[in-house]
Amino acid sequence: MPEPIDTKYKFIAVSNEHGTEHNEYDAIVFLAKDKALHETLIFYYVICVKLGAQTEQLESIRRMIHRVEVYQNLNPNKVKVADIDVSLLKQDKQG
């Protein structure tokens, strides 16, 4: 089996749009409490514009940016710079 892309989380996500399942082998997780997420999503939006993404996709990203902004404004005590257990990082590097 290939190496997981996201080694911090094990998950199953189901697309609301297509019903397809994804996990740590083909997807990644960002938490709304991640202080860098808002700017990361804005950067992603700009890249999608440059790549010619459809208007519906851009609008979906814009709404997600807004939801993250609202979450972070309502939960300032939870917002922080992302972290990782150092022992997991060492395991990840050893493969």
CA atoms of 87 and 39, how far apart (whole Å): 28
CA atoms of 7 and 71, how far apart (whole Å): 25
Per residue, what are the HEC states of 18-59?
CCCEEECCCCCCCCCCECCHHHHHHHHHHHHHHHCCCHHHHH
| pTM recorded for the entire structure | 0.81
| pLDDT tens per residue across all 95 residues of the chain | 799 999 989 999 999 999 999 999 999 999 999 999 999 999 999 999 999 999 999 999 999 999 999 999 999 999 999 876 666 555 555 55
